[in-house]
Every structure is written in C-alpha cells, then in structure tokens.
A and B are shown apart, each in its own frame.
Chain A
Amino acid sequence: MSNIAAKNPPLLSVKNLTLAYGSRVIQENINFDVKRGSIFALMGGSGCGKSTLLKSMIGLLQPKKGDYQVNGESYWAASQNRRIDIAHKFGVLFQSAALWSSMTVGENVALPLQMFTHLSDSMIHRLVELKLGLVGMEYAIDLYPSELSGGMRKRCGLARALALDPEVLFFDEPSAGLDPITSKRLDDLILNLRDGLGATIIIVSHELPSLFSIADDGLFMGSENKTPIAYGSPSYLRDHPPNEFVDDFMHRQRSDYKKQKG
C-alpha cells in the first residue's frame, strides 16, 4: 500500500517499442511512461494492436525492437526467473476472463495465493472471500466458471487478478459485455482499487464515457499508419483532438467505421 506521491519516477516506461507477429509488424515507435498510481488508457480502433501491446507488457510477447522498463529495470533484458518475479507484481484481467474451467471460482482465486505465498489455509480462505467480496461475487465462491454469466466471469477474473495485491493491474476490455449499471460499478471499483490498493492501472477499453471519467493519461494507436497517433488523457484528446480520426473516434461518429474498413 504505497502512498501516491505527486512527483515520482514512472513505474512503467515504454521506449521505441516495435511489436510484430513474426514478420508482420503491428505497431512501431511506441513511447510512453505510466506514472505510479495513475490509470492509463490504451485506445484505438479494433484490430490496431491494443491487446498485442498489453501482451508484450505482461510478458507474453517479446517485442521486436525497443525497451520496456518496470521500475527502471529492463523487463525483456532480464533473465527468465527475474521476469517471473517482476510479473508477480502484475494482475491481469484477460479479454475473455480466462478463468480455469476445472476449478471453482474460489479455487481460481486461491491458486496464486497457494503457489506464491506461505499463508495458512484459513488466511487464504479469508483473503479469497475478501477479493470476491470486493467485486461483489462472494456468493459464487463454490460455483464453477461454466455456471456463471459472461459479466460474472469478468468480475471473478478481476478478483483473481487482485489475489496477490498487485502493483500494476492490466485490464483488457473489462466492461465489454456488462450492463450499464454493472459497468458503472466496475468503473467505481477500478477507481476505488486504485485509491485503496495504490495500484497502477493499464486499461484497454472502448467505453468512452468510462474512459473520460476514470483515465488520467493514455495513448491512441492508429490502425493504418501502424504507430501511435496521439498521447494524452481521453478527455484531453476529446477536447483537443490532434486529427480528424481521433475527433471522430472520441465523438463516436460514423466516419470512423468507414475509415477502419477502408
């Protein structure tokens, strides 16, 4: 539980990153810093590479070029074991929740605690109840993921991401598929988690209203020129769009669909 100091070095810093699958380049020249305790939004049209960038930030996809630093330490230059240690600071909510289907929800949340801590069983049980309680799912502790709805799975996935009290939380489209009320609740939850746990949050989302209200900073990626086209908080980009595409996107106009296809 760190205090949020006003002036501090960036927690995550991405320098000149190029992402590619094999020889197919997805995004080039990505540069940004994420301040400790901030909520950082990754924005852009569908298929522009938001999930891909997230993958490389959580250690699933080695970037083709560039540097990615966590707390001033180069992540991809570190040894395999060191990378695993660093990744223990991360909590990830995948686009599809990705709960392990052969375990109950409670076991899903307990597994990281059993694997990576030496807590007593009763303490683990109390922590599992707490994490599920935070997302409002404590009644589902004994249910299997297949018995839950999509939105409930998302919330349980979030509880699992919180299991180890992560310093950085990565969310891939957390509110996709949720009703407006649950989605609003999730926004509040994210804000409260940031303030309560002191966590730094990287979020991929298309939910503009929620981005405007929660994100402090962000980055907008272009699909056509394969490089970020704007940096700044979503509400800043809405009010000061650097170009027509961002303007359309932020105001949900039809022409952005045309452009994405074209």
Chain B
Amino acid sequence: MTIKSEVTPLQSSPSWKLDCNNGRNILTLSGIWLAKNNNIPTIPDGCFRHAYDNQSLYFDTSSLKQWDSSLIVFLWSIKLQAAQSNIPFDQDSLPEAACKLLSLLSEKPAPVAKRAPYHFQPLVRVGDWFIQSLSDLGKAWMVFIETLKGITSIVAGKSYMRIVDLIQYIRDAGPSALIIISIVNFLVGSILGFVGAVQLRRFAADAYVANLVGIATVREMAVVMTAIVMSGRTGGAYAARIATMQGNEEIDSLKVMGIPISQYLILPSMLSLVFTMPFLYLYGCFMGILGGLTVSIIMLNVTVIGFLQQTFGAVEFNQFIFGGVKSIAFAIFIGISSCHIGLKAGRSAADVGVAATRAVVAGIVGVIALDAIFAVIADIIGI
C-alpha cells in the first residue's frame, strides 16, 4: 500500500510517499522544502489507516535537498497523526537538526485557550453600562473625598505630596497653556463681537456690542472655553501618565509601600489645576474682551475708551466671582476625573490611548453639564 503527494511536475518540488510494504512503514521525503516557494504539501487525515500497527515509522531522506521550518511543520503534523494511530515515530532516521527541533514539539495537539464568545445582548449591555457608570461616579466621589483629606494632612504638615511635583505640575498646567488660551479666547471674543455687531447695527444699538461681549465672556465663554482647553491639554496628559504608570507597575509599587495614591499623585494634579484655572480664566476674560474690542473698532463706529467704559458699566464684579467659582469647580472636576480614569485603565499601550481619550471626552461633557447646573443655580439665587 502506497500513498503519496500529488504528482508534481518539477523534480525539485517537495513531495512525500508513504510505503507500507513487507511489514515496514517508510515515509520518503524528497525535493526542496522551502516556505518561500509556497508549495509545501499537507498530509491527508487518516493516512496511517493502512500502516502496520505498532511498527515504527521510518524516514528515507536520501533525496531530500534543501529544507527549512516548513519541513518541520509537515513533520509535526505527521508526528501528531502517527501518535493518534499508535505508530511509533522513529525520528532518529531524520536529519539530526530536524530531529532536535521535533523533539521540542509535543505529541498531542494542545487545546487552544479560547476567550469567552461574544453574545449580542443589548439589554444586558445597557444595564452593565448603567451600573458601571454609577459605580464610577461613586468611586470618583470617593477619590475626591480621599484627596480632600490629603489637603487636611498638608495643613497638619505630614503630607505625602511632594512640593517639587506640585510646582512642576503648576508650571505645566499654567504658563505653558497661555498661548492656546490666548488664541481660543481672543477668537471666541471676536466671534461674539462680530455676531453682535451684525445684529445690533440693525437697531442702531452698536454701543451694546460691548455689553454682549463683556457679559458673555465673563459669565460663560472664558471659563467654559478655558476649561475645555485644559481638559484636552492637561486632563488628557494626566490620564495618559497615570495609565502608563499603571502599565509599568509603578502604581502597584506605590500601593505596596503604602504611599497613598490620592495624596502622592491626585492631589498635586488637582491642586495645580485649582491654582492655575482662576488665573487662566481672568486672562481668558481679558483676551475675549480684547477680541470683541478689535472687531468692534474695525466694524463699528466706536472708540477704545467708549467700548471699555460700556464694558465696565455692564459687567458687575459679582460676575467675576461667579466665573471664578465655576473655574475652580471645573478644575476640581477635570483633575479628579482624569486621574480616576487613568487609575482604572488597563495595562497595555492601547489602554493608555483609551484612557486619554476617555479623560478628554469626560472632561468636555462634564464641564458643559456642570455649567448647565451652575446656570440653573445662578437663576435661582438671582446672580
């Protein structure tokens, strides 16, 4: 009984032949077995049906020429099938190098570890998401409380926060953000001025452009735009840094040594934003009003002095306090949420990207949602 690979036109092509005659099982291998030629044969299932049981399988490699890993691939599948059919595999009749490699390979196919299959269950997913979000909110709140406790320990003079870290973070969050804050607020102020000028000119109410720009900038635009820029710039950076520390087991080593993460990592991040945001907000107001002023001077018949007088008349001091309070609230929110997202990130490089994206999205959505809440509160208490 002889089984062999399909007849191949070229003599150099890889081929095999299984002879089971006279009580001996002999597999003859010939030709050039190189993976790059893309012509490595496979062995059909059950090819040892006609082989003699309990007789070793010998190899004849006298006409085998060049070979590489692809021959081992082939021999491994023979080894697996021979083991299944209880045919001893005489690898000593193979070239020595092949024999060494084959001895490393197991005789039984190992069960491949599979991950749980994915089921499409929309209700379960929505429910999971909802519960997850609630528990995240709770955890973020806990982080906030822990961090506040950190402030009391600073006051008591035994904090784990390092002042050098705080200074470094403040420098990264504050002065280095000035350029982007300037550009964004100046442009938003100009847009407000432009829209106001086009509309109000129709009622000959040119002078009121200053009121519009001033109030909109100080109450809403400067603080919201600054917070959005900071959540993209600083919040994303915090999340990515903490997620990377997670992947390097740096967070684990902090935990093991008992260094509280809330004080060592989160507190300086949050404080740096809390210290810088009110100043950035004031600076943003200045740039926004400057933008409105520039557009007004170009488009309308107003003077610099007239515009500024009108602005100071319109914007009361408590508007600045309202904006300042909002900026501190946004700073706390961005600091806590981005650090929290970084801390619960996974450990791979992709997870760092996911954490940074989440932190930015959560920051922007959260800032706008918080701003809406503030608007309602302001309406109730009449600011």
Contact = CB atoms under 8 A, between A and B. Distances in A.
Given A101-B349, A119-B38, A165-B68, A133 B98 contact: no
Contacts of B114: 142
B139 interface: no
Given A1-B67, A119-B36, A165-B69, A196 B110 contact: no
Nearest to A195: B100
A136 to B, nearest CB: 7
Max chain B C-beta neighbours (<10 A), residue from A100, A129, A145: A129
Interface string A94-109: 0000001110000000
B66 interface: yes
Interface in A1-17: 1
A123 B115 contact: no
Interface in B228-265: none
B346 A146 contact: yes
B69 A198 contact: no
Given A117-B35, A119-B36, A143-B113, A130 B100 contact: no
A197 interface: yes
B376 interface: no
B101 A102 contact: no
Interface in B51-74: 66-70, 72-73
Nearest to A137: B110
B97 A138 contact: no
B163 interface: no
Contacts of A193: 101
B160 interface: no
A139 interface: yes
A97 to B, nearest CB: 13
A80 interface: no
A198 B38 contact: no
B36 A102 contact: no
Max chain A C-beta neighbours (<10 A), residue from B36, B40, B101: B101
A118 B36 contact: yes
A140 interface: yes
Interface in A110-137: 117-120, 123, 126-127, 129-131, 133-134, 136
Given A133-B105, A196-B100, A102 B350 contact: yes
Contacts of A77: none
B36 A1 contact: no
B96 interface: yes
A141 B112 contact: yes
Contacts of B115: 142-143
Given A119-B38, A123-B38, A134 B97 contact: no
A193 B348 CA distance: 31
B157 interface: no
Contacts of B67: 1
A139 B347 CA distance: 22
B40 A133 contact: no
B102 to A, nearest CB: 8
B97 A196 contact: yes
A127 B100 contact: no
A195 B96 contact: yes
Q: How large is the interface on B (under 10, 10 to 19, 20 to 34, 35 or more residues)?
A: 20 to 34
A144 interface: yes
Interface in B68-85: 68-70, 72-73, 76
A145 B347 CA distance: 10
Given A102-B349, A127-B73, A196-B98, A140 B113 contact: yes
A139 B100 contact: no
B97 to A, nearest CB: 5
A74 interface: no
A146 B347 contact: yes
A192 interface: yes
A78 interface: no
Nearest to A141: B112
A189 interface: yes
Contacts of B72: 130
A102 B348 contact: yes
A123 B33 CA distance: 12
Contacts of A133: 76, 104-106
B188 to A, nearest CB: 38
A91 B128 CA distance: 44
B341 to A, nearest CB: 18
A137 to B, nearest CB: 9
Contacts of B105: 130, 133-134
A197 B111 CA distance: 27
Given A1-B66, A119-B36, A165-B68, A136 B76 contact: no
A126 B68 CA distance: 13
B110 A139 contact: yes
Nearest to A143: B113
Contacts of A131: 69
Interface in B83-132: 96-98, 100-101, 103-106, 110-115
29 contacts: A1-B67, A1-B97, A101-B349, A101-B350, A102-B349, A118-B36, A123-B38, A126-B70, A127-B35, A129-B73, A130-B72, A130-B73, A131-B69, A133-B106, A134-B101, A134-B104, A134-B105, A138-B110, A139-B111, A139-B112, A142-B112, A142-B113, A143-B115, A146-B348, A189-B104, A192-B100, A192-B103, A192-B104, A198-B97
Interface of B: 35-36, 38, 40, 66-70, 72-73, 76, 96-98, 100-101, 103-106, 110-115, 346-350
Q: Which 7 A-B pairs have the closest CB atoms?
A: A101-B348, A196-B101, A196-B100, A139-B110, A192-B100, A102-B350, A126-B73
Given A102-B348, A138-B112, 17 more contacts: A1-B68, A102-B349, A117-B36, A120-B38, A123-B38, A126-B70, A127-B73, A130-B69, A139-B110, A139-B111, A139-B113, A142-B114, A143-B113, A165-B68, A189-B104, A192-B100, A196-B100
